[in-house]
Structure 1
Amino acid sequence: MPHIELDPQLPGIRALFAFRPETADPLGRLAEALLRGPNSLSVGERELIAAVVSKGNDCTFCSSSHGAVAAAALDDGFGVVEAAWRNVDEAPVSAKLKALLWIALAVRESGQAVTTELVEAARAEGATDVEIHDTVLIAAAFCMYNRYVDGLATVAPPVQEAYRGMGEQLLEQGYLRL
């Protein structure tokens, strides 16, 4: 049950965006820039970073919705998302993305948990300064989004299948139409 009066037909952040459109606009633009803007990391890779951070934060809505977008965008589909949720080192993704996921998980813990060793490991796998920067910013932003969604106890469907259509819609239309 949400802590404030929200549209019961809208799950997660969608209900919060409808409740406060004036804050929805900049938050949607941030998500659009981070997850869909020009980047050497694919949309699927960036969505996977968001999904892994959100899973680590136990945010059902964000991990499920961004997991669904990543699954729709990545060749290996939902299997790669589930694998990354279970164990980054065993996920069927590039060594570079694994290193970036470890940076993202460190950000989830604390910004100060991002060590020189983690950054150097990502660089050793070919990560650029922009990719490292964007990984940290995606992770930090999703810690905020996760706390926003869960801090107001928004509704989140409990089964992953409920997010498939949402993931496909977000992949196709982006975050500015929420």
Structure 2
Amino acid sequence: MLIATISRMSGMRLPDAARVAFYRRDFAGPSIGAWTQRTMRGPSGWSVSERELMAAMVATWNSCPFCIGAHGAVAVRGMDKDVVDAALADYRTAPIPDKLKAALVFIEKMTRTPDDLTKDDAQAALEAGLTRNDLEDAAAVASLFAIVTRYANTLDFDIPTPDDFDKAAGMLLRRGYA
């Protein structure tokens, strides 16, 4: 009944990620919600939009259309849509800060070829201007979304319309993840 009420009040079908969190609390409940809230909304040198873009990038590398749409829609709330789209297409040529590019280089390797990640990769990120906390926060986003993208794909989440992703982004910014 809660899911139906929220869907009716929001004027959209509640996204599958929220449905899993509400309905299967034993699967994706309080622990993942709290971890996600800390990672995506807790204190950080990264803005909310930058962390959401990192999540959308991990989703891109893990071929998760639901998470690309969901987290891209939140990133757009604090970044220009053209910048987010350019980053999702190729962050190396996108008009984003060099510090963010350096973080994305690190988490791309962490996501795609984790066995090849070395202390030299972390050192390169630090030399590019990231602090240790920046690097840890970016790695936390990548770690979290390595899990989330896989369960979204495994559970075959329904892909909302762009308008519904936008509505959900507003709710997510207001309510958070926990």
Shorter-chain TM-score range: 0.7 to 0.9
Is the Cα–Cα contact under 8 Å of residues 100 and 122 in structure 1 kept in the other structure?
A: yes
TM normalised by structure 2 equals 0.85
Q: Distance in 2 between matches of 1:114 and 1:69?
A: 29
CA gap of 1:113–1:71, structure 2 versus 1, over 3 A, is farther
Match of 2:71 among 63, 66, 72: 66
Amino acid across the alignment from 2:64: C
* Other structure's SS at 2:76 match: helix
Match of 2:110 among 101, 107, 111: 107
Aligned to 2:55: 50
The question of 1:14 aligning with 2:15 is answered no
Displacement of 1:82 in angstroms is 0.8
Aligned to 1:135: 138
Q: Percent identity?
A: 31
Aligned counterparts, 1:69-148, within 5 A: 69-74=74-79, 77-148=80-151
* Other structure's SS at 1:155 match: coil
Displacement of 1:21 in angstroms is 1.8
CA gap of 1:57–1:67, structure 2 versus 1, over 3 A, is same
Aligned to 1:171: 173
Deviates more, 1:114-123 or 1:53-62: 114-123
Give 5+ residue unaligned stretches, structure 1: 1-5
Q: Distance in 1 between matches of 2:58 and 2:146?
A: 7
Is the Cα–Cα contact under 8 Å of residues 12 and 61 in structure 1 kept in the other structure?
A: no
Q: Distance in 2 between matches of 1:139 and 1:150?
A: 16
Match of 2:155 among 152, 155, 158: 152
Is the Cα–Cα contact under 8 Å of residues 61 and 112 in structure 2 kept in the other structure?
A: no
